[in-house]
Amino acid sequence: MNTTLFRIGAAVLAASTIALTSACGDDAASSTATPAAEAPATEAAAPAGEAGGDSKALVDGKELTADFDTTCAKQGNTLALALTDTANEQYGQLSVSASIVDDNTVQAVAIAGSQGGSDGMPYAVGYGNGQPGGSAQVSKDGDTYTVTGEGIGAPDMSNPMAGPATAKFDITFACSDIIG
């Protein structure tokens, strides 16, 4: 139960962080994307007994190498989706999340790592509905949700005047069960 609460908490925290980051962004954000991962792409799979065998996240076409646990929870008309890897080699505590309203509107997307960003900073890419910059769409096939779009990344602290970069994302959440 504590692991599930951690995953849901990570999704909510990541979504909140991204909404805040997006709100602080500049409307004239750079269109140069920050590289997501230098490690070779591999199939992301959750441990035995967990949902998420087909869950994965790509940023700018490069799959994030991770051992994701997938959590899907619904309350009312809001669906919270989360992929977590608490010991990721490149990104530390890595969380990929999305919140969806009425099964067709993406409210927020967050891709956050406790490390792995530019100049030793945390890694962050996100989208917030109604915030300047970015876009997101969701499609559903059974209990698998695919969220695609473009988010705003954290600025390169070695060149903060360049503003935040943009990054395309393609996230698959394979939900074997939906809590709630």
- What are 58-104's pLDDT values in tens digits? 999 999 999 999 999 999 999 999 999 999 999 999 999 999 999 89
The H-or-E segment that residue 78 falls in is: strand 78-88
Instruction: Report the C-alpha gap between 43 and 123 in whole angstroms.
Output: 21
Q: Mean pLDDT over residues 146-160, rounded?
A: 87
With respect to residue 48, please indicate whether it lies within any of the assigned structural domains. Answer: yes
Torsion of CA 86, 81, 52, 180, to 10 degrees: 110
With respect to residue 180, please indicate whether it lies within any of the assigned structural domains. Answer: no
With respect to residue 145, please indicate whether it lies within any of the assigned structural domains. Answer: yes
Domain that holds residue 122: 2-174
Q: pTM of whole model > 0.85? A: no
Confidence of residue 13 (pLDDT cuts 50, 70, 90): very low
- Could you give the 3-state DSSP secondary structure of residue 59? strand
Res. 49: pLDDT tops 60: no
Going by their DSSP bridges, the two strands 166-174 and 56-59 should be labelled as antiparallel
Q: What is the pLDDT of residue 44?
A: 36
- Could you give the 3-state DSSP secondary structure of residue 27? coil
With respect to residue 32, please indicate whether it lies within any of the assigned structural domains. Answer: yes
Tell me the residue type at 160. Answer: P
Q: What is the pLDDT of residue 148?
A: 98
Instruction: Report the C-alpha gap between 134 and 137 in whole angstroms.
Output: 11
pLDDT mean across residues, the chain: 76
With respect to residue 179, please indicate whether it lies within any of the assigned structural domains. Answer: no
With respect to residue 83, please indicate whether it lies within any of the assigned structural domains. Answer: yes
Confidence of residue 53 (pLDDT cuts 50, 70, 90): low
With respect to residue 62, please indicate whether it lies within any of the assigned structural domains. Answer: yes
Res. 8: pLDDT tops 60: no
With respect to residue 43, please indicate whether it lies within any of the assigned structural domains. Answer: yes
Do you know the residue count of the chain?
A: 180
Number of domains in the chain: 1
Q: Return the closest-CA partner of residue 71 out of 138, 10, 149.
A: 10
